[in-house]
Structures are given as structure tokens and as C-alpha cells.
Chain A
Amino acid sequence: MSSPLLSACRVTKRFGGRTACHDVSFDLWPGEVLGIVGESGSGKTTLLNCLAGRLVPDGGSVAYETRSAGIVDVHHLSEARRRLLARTEWGFVNQDAREGLRMGVSAGANIGERLMAVGARHYGEIRGQAIDWMARVEIDADRIDDRPTTYSGGMRQRLQIARNLVSNPRLVFMDEPTGGLDVSVQARILDLLRGLVEGLHLSAVLVTHDLGVARLLTHRLMVMQGGAVVEQGLTDQVLDDPQHPYTQMLVASILPV
């Protein structure tokens, strides 16, 4: 096997005297989906933001293997290169679609933004790609000129996914992509994500507090508690045979239907 796509080494982030995540290390391999689970406040999102270069960790490093320039230290890149990386090789799906979308412009413009940011200047081609991506995330093509404000929550989330994947990224960070949606909409989005991840051979880091989502989408699981990783392993292994008391508690607290 080749080298890992993303490699975190002893990542630590403090806010004042409070440690939000402590000494987190892992490797993410090409094509792999890593889940980070834990309760609210356990440092999942902070860790994700550190990995994606949105926060600067107080300790440790994050290495990423780029398409062309080899392995780079995410936090030692210039801001220009980091932002370029973020909009060409990465995607970031927010829990709240409003944070990841431009609510004031149409769906087509939202999907086309990354293309235009890297130099696409042909309106017809940009629009063609937008229509193509709308179909892939199952949004009617005749909604292309509508603003996301007129979309339902599930549609917004699918639009956000399309907007991120249009530039053909290799790695997608997802922060509770199905949070706040009802279960049938959740199921459709999970279905969609699973298909896209497999079809495009994407790698992903997925933050969720929902173990069902983790079971469905992820290959490997990290369980966080109080900013530290208490258990990690293959998803099925962790969920079926939890070793750490906290993980056991998490698994036990899933509501039976």
C-alpha cells in the first residue's frame, strides 16, 4: 500500500486553560472513511477544524499528501496554498448548510463557485457541470436558478455536498452532515454519501454523534471523550465489541426502535 493521505501526529488544541483535543494521532488512507464519534463537547469538531487547517493546533502536526507536490505540513503552508488546497483537493461539509452555502445566490452559482475560483470562464460549461451535479445529488435540474433559501433542509445539505464535490476533491471533511434532519431525509443523504464516496474513491473524515451514521458510512472509528481518543479500531469491531467503558456506555445508549 502507498503512504497515508492524511496523517495527524499528536494534535493538541487548547482554548485558554481548557484542552479541547489532546494528543490525537491517526493515519487516513486513500479511499478510507474515518468516523470520529463522541458526545457534545468531546472535541470532535475542534479536531476536524485542526485537520482541515481552519484552526491552528497548539501542538502536533498534520501532514497531507497532495496530488502534485508530495507530502505537505498543512499548518506550515502559506495561507494562499492552504486555501488553494482547501478548494481544490478538499471539501468541507458543515452541519448547518447555511454556513457552507452562499444563501444569496442561486444553486447553480453555488455549485459553480469552485470552478470559477480555479479559472473556469465559460458560462455554458459551468452551468452544464452544475446541472450534472444537481442530478447526482438528486435535485431537480429546474431548481438550478433558485436560491438555497427556497430549499428544504435536506436539499440544502445535498446542494452543499454537490458544491464541495464539483472540484473533484480527494478528501472531504464532514461535520455532522445529517444533523438536524429528519430520519427519512437522513437516510437518503447517507445513501447518497455512501454512493459518492465509493464511486469517486473519496477519503473522508466524518464527525458525528450518531452511531448509526458511523456504522453505515465509516470504515474506521475513533471514540473521543474529553478531548482524548479513548478507543479506535474498525467500525464493526468498536461498535460490536466496545472495550472502553465510555464506548460501552455510548453503544448502550442507542435507543432501540
Chain B
Amino acid sequence: MPDTTIQNTLPQDGAYNYAYLDEQTKRMIRRAILKAVAVPGYQVPFGGREMPLPYGWGTGGIQVTAALIGRDDTLKVIDQGADDTTNAVSIRRFFARVADVATTTHTEEATIIQTRHRVPETPLKDGQILVFQVPIPEPLRMLEPRETETRTLHALSEYGVMQVSLYESIARHGRIAKTYNYPVMVNGRYIMSPSPIPKFDNPKLDHSAALQLYGAGREKRIYAVPPHTPVKSLDFDDHPFEIETWTESCALCGSTESFLDEMIVDDTGKRLFVCSDTDYCESRR
């Protein structure tokens, strides 16, 4: 495979501090990250800053990345698995400009991977950091609207209500119908929202060699799963957790093991299934 790491040639923006955020802010975020790593799955509040992009576009993930990044890092940014979507391109260029950092689309070459809604298909290694953009960090939010109450439930490990939602899903649909943002139990203690990744990716979180950091900008929370930590998807004994499967294979690379996107390619409704992870797909062609 050719080395596709792009050495940064963009003009550096001298008006900003390195990696956009000021040093005090980065220190504050690092403290939150350290605490999050020390208590896997626990949501640590932090003083989230205004970022030069709207909430919902990855402000939490960007702040975590900004606090971590250094000149010797190699950054990869994906959005729904793809390296070439607007959000991914913009965030990659942002860090190339303000952090003088090399970027890549190759999972193996990256030291930091910021992601929205996917975990790369290529298994992650020791030393890599996966930064998730999280819209709603609280897994119990849709079941219990009061923040004081959800915090109490986490503190006391009272998670019956989460199981109730899974029960309800089976009662209504005959199976656990949740396909993304599927709740997980981290290290046997905290229930955590894995961000809106498909449940297909949940097994990749379990005992992952990479450090996983989750940043929620709007709600100003950071949480983490340290490397080699057990992450269990919730289920029932008689309705075990299962991932999605496809009868088709990828139309471009032929993979039968990756997460496939369904695309409509013409006006007559012709469908095509392709890998959602563009880097994985390209490397197999």
C-alpha cells in the first residue's frame, strides 16, 4: 500500500493558539479525559467551548481531539465511515490548518481517528485513539427526562429502566429493534451510549486495543473506554444481542463482512450495496 499520509502544506493560522483552543482549556479537557479514563463509562462534565462550527457537527469530538493532538500525530476523520464527506473533510482541514498535523485516510497510519457514527472495519491497534462525536451522551435520556434522576440511577447502578426499554422493544417487534446507539455496559459498572454507531460496531468496542474517547459538545460531557475494557451490549438470556447481516456483498470490493450502505443509483430505483467504510473498501479493490 502506498504511503498516503499527507504532510501538511496549508498555511498555518498564526492568529490562533496551537490546535485552536487556548492552553488552559486544553488542560481542563485533559483533566476531564483523565477522569473519564479512570472511571470507564462515567460521563465527566467539562467546560465545553464555543467552536467554529454548529452543535451537532462534532464540537465535542473536535474539542477532545484538540486537547490531544500534537505535531507528530497523524489524524484521520470519518463521517458515517467515509473520509470524503463534508464534515470529515472540513474537520481534517481545520486541524491541518490550526495544528500543523499530518492527515491520512488510512486507518493503520492514523494515531488519532475522529469519527461520527462508525468504528473503522480495520481492527485498531495499541496506541491509537478513537474520538467519537456524541449528540446525546445520556443513554437513559429517552426513558428518564430528569438529569438529577439519571445521575442518581447511574450512581446507584439502577438500570432496570434500560432493560424495560428492551423488553418493550421485544413485546412490540418480536426482537430488540434498536439498531444504532445500542446501549452497552462498560466494565460491569456503567451503562453507556456508544454514540449513534450501528450495533454492528458494538462488538468492536469490547476489549478494543485502542483508547476510545467520547465527546459531547452540546451537553458538555466526556466519557471514555480505556483499552482492553469489557464492553457488553445489553440483551436478554433468551433474546441475545445480534448484529446486522446482509444477503448482499459490497458491489465495489465484494466484502461480506463489512457494514454495507444501501444506495439508490438511478431513477428506476436500482439499488447498490457498498461498504460504509471507504478506506476499508478501497484497500480491498
Residues of A within 8 A of B (CB): 79-80, 83, 102, 105-106, 108-109, 112-114, 116-118, 121-124, 126-127, 144-145
Contacts and interface: CB of A to CB of B under 8 A. Distances in A.
Interface of chain A: mostly helix, strand, loop or mixed: helix
Nearest to B144: A102
A112 B171 CA distance: 12
Size bin of chain B's contact surface: 10 to 19
A121 B163 contact: yes
A15 to B, nearest CB: 21
A79 B164 CA distance: 22
B3 interface: no
Given A109-B167, A116-B167, A122 B161 contact: no
B156 A80 contact: yes
A123 B237 CA distance: 7
B236 A113 contact: no
Contacts of B167: 105, 108-109, 112, 116, 123, 126
A172 B281 CA distance: 61
A116 B239 contact: no
Contact of B168 (A79, A109, A114, A124): A109
Contacts of B237: 121-123
Contacts of A112: 164, 167
A113 B161 contact: yes
A221 B259 CA distance: 66
B187 interface: no
Nearest to B235: A121
A108 B238 contact: no
B159 to A, nearest CB: 8
Contacts of B239: 123
Interface string B142-169: 0000000000100010111101110110
B39 interface: no
B172 interface: yes
Nearest to B234: A121
Contacts of B235: 121
Given A122-B236, A123-B170, A145-B171, A83 B158 contact: yes
23 contacts: A79-B156, A80-B156, A83-B158, A102-B164, A105-B164, A109-B167, A109-B168, A112-B167, A114-B160, A116-B160, A116-B164, A116-B167, A117-B158, A117-B161, A117-B163, A121-B163, A121-B235, A122-B238, A123-B167, A123-B237, A124-B238, A126-B167, A127-B171
Given A109-B167, A123-B170, 11 more contacts: A79-B156, A80-B156, A83-B158, A105-B164, A105-B167, A106-B168, A109-B171, A112-B167, A122-B236, A124-B238, A145-B171
Nearest to B170: A123
A106 B165 CA distance: 10
B238 A106 contact: no
A124 B237 CA distance: 9
